[in-house]
Structure 1
Amino acid sequence: MKTDIVFYDAQCPLCQAVKKVVMKLDWNRELRWFPVQSVSETTRTKAARYVDMYDEIYVLSKEGQVSIGFQAIRKILSRLPALAWLTPLLSFSLLEIVGTAAYRFISSHRHQWFGRLSLDKALPR
């Protein structure tokens, strides 16, 4: 695998907006985005041991490691040349605790704040 795979909720407008911005900053094409709505049932079952794919973003790195939630955000930032310098700062204990709590809060409220796209709109054929 030559790139990290980012699994995201394509029905989430916030997630779509973040993806769009990150793709513009991914100058080296280190990230491949994959909507959880397109993941096979077999893969979804395997992934369930890590996280409910609809609840948190997660990254399968090219090294084969899985990062979830705030750690996934940190992994994504580490792949972006313009923002990679933030990665060590986000590893400090206090920032990790605050970042994880903030990520979970936003993630758990994103649909009530930003709505939810229909599957047809999220994944146009």
Structure 2
Amino acid sequence: MKIYALYDANCTLCQESKRIFQKIDRKTKVNWLSLQEYEKTDQEYSFSAIELRRELHIILPDKRVLKGFEAVRKLLLISPYTFLIGAFLYIPYMHVIGRPIYGWIAKRRHQFKAHKCSDDSCSL
């Protein structure tokens, strides 16, 4: 079974993150699905539109949902290229630093590549 990652297809920072993760995911363990596509289907999980656009969501094979920092750190464990970084992020209390950093980046994602956003999604 695969991991499903829900990303914002209208955000260039999200698209770039997806591209990088796909490149290092040699065994294609992650199925990337735009949240715009996900919202159009009969969803097993119910997320608000704002919640989906606020942070990355992944759905694990055991049906658990990880968001934001926890999702990124789990994805980093998948590839041998990023495994050590992912493992480092599982050190006890690393979330105390990781969550705020992820939140800071996610909240300011429009400042990174705003001129390329196809709609106002990067300004959320």
TM-score where L is the length of structure 1:
0.82
How far, CA to CA, are the matches of 1:54 and 1:82 in structure 2? 27
Corresponding residue of 2:79:
80
Corresponding residue of 2:34:
35
Per the alignment, in what secondary structure is the counterpart of residue 58 of structure 2? strand
Deviations 1:27-61 (A, max 9, x none): 0100111111112365397123xx71010001001
Taking only the aligned residue pairs, the percentage that are identical comes to 25
How far, CA to CA, are the matches of 1:38 and 1:20 in structure 2? 17
How far, CA to CA, are the matches of 1:61 and 1:80 in structure 2? 16
Please list every run of 5 or more consecutive structure 2 residues that lacks an aligned counterpart in the other structure: 120-124
Per the alignment, in what secondary structure is the counterpart of residue 108 of structure 2? helix
Corresponding residue of 2:95:
96
- Answer yes or no: is 1:13 the counterpart of 2:24: no
Cα root mean square deviation, aligned: 2.1
| Aligned positions of 1:99-114 closer than 5 A | 99-114=98-113
Deviations 1:59-113 (A, max 9, x none): 0011211100000001111111221222231022342211110000000010233
Please list every run of 5 or more consecutive structure 1 residues that lacks an aligned counterpart in the other structure: 120-125
Check conservation: 2:6, 2:35, Cα contact below 8 A.
yes
How many corresponding residue pairs?
Answer: 116
